[in-house]
């Protein structure tokens, strides 16, 4: 047996998150003046990300990326976030806060609509990146895809 059938037959293969797995949640303040001016602080609670400046985003998990991956042409998460190449970057799609509503433009994206959020959690800090919709990250993505990157600290 190979592939997916083998993975599903493996009793040691967890199919759901373990109860000890940590979910990124809590209140975070700005770690520098750039974050203070753009975001204020942030509250992460489940799928919701709320900023002190008024923006709120509902997110949905997309995937975990390695920091060594390019998010736009010529830039890796590791370089931009000063992170080890094997750091895990949580990628989340931004979805409408209420079902059936369109995504709203945000000042955080220069008045355009954000489509994707990247989060790197490090002990007492969270690095957050926001990307314009339609967000297609990778080595061929234009540099203008990135709205901004900010650092937050646990409050």
Q: Using one digit for the tens of pLDDT, what is the confidence trace for 83-93?
A: 999 999 999 99
Residue 17 confidence (pLDDT) = 41
Question: Is 5 a domain residue?
Answer: no
| Residue 117 lies inside a defined structural domain of this protein | yes
> Nearest CA to 104 among 95, 91, 117, 92?
95
Preceding peptide of 114 cis, ω within 30°: no
Report the pLDDT value the prediction gives residue 99, as an integer from 0 to 100.
86
* Domain annotation covers residue 101: yes
Q: Which two tokens stand for residue 40?
A: 């204020």
Residue 73 CA to chain centroid, in angstroms? 19
Residue segments in the chain with a per-residue pLDDT below the cut of 70: 1-23
Domain with 90 in it: 60-154
150: in domain: yes
Residue 79 falls within a domain, yes or no? yes
The total number of residues shown for the chain amounts to: 155
Helix (H) or strand (E) holding 4, with range, is helix 3-9
Cα 82 to Cα 13: distance, rounded to the nearest angstrom:
32
Q: Is residue 6 part of a domain?
A: no
């Amino acid at each position: 047996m190979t592939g997916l059938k083998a993975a599903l037959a493996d009793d040691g293969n967890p199919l759901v998150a373990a109860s000890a797995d940590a979910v990124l949640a809590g209140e975070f303040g700005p770690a520098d003046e750039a974050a203070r001016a753009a975001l204020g602080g942030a509250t992460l609670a489940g799928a919701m990300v709320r900023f002190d400046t008024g923006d709120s985003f509902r997110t949905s998990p997309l995937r975990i990326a390695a920091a060594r991956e390019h998010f736009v042409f010529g830039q890796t998460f590791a370089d931009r976030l000063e992170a080890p190449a094997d750091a895990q970057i949580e990628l989340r799609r931004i979805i409408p806060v209420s079902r059936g509503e369109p995504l709203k433009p945000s000042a955080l994206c220069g008045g355009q609509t954000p489509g994707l959020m990247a989060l790197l959690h490090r002990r007492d800090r969270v690095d957050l990146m926001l990307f314009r919709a339609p967000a297609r990250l990778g080595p061929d993505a234009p540099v203008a895809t990135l709205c901004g990157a900010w650092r937050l600290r646990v409050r």
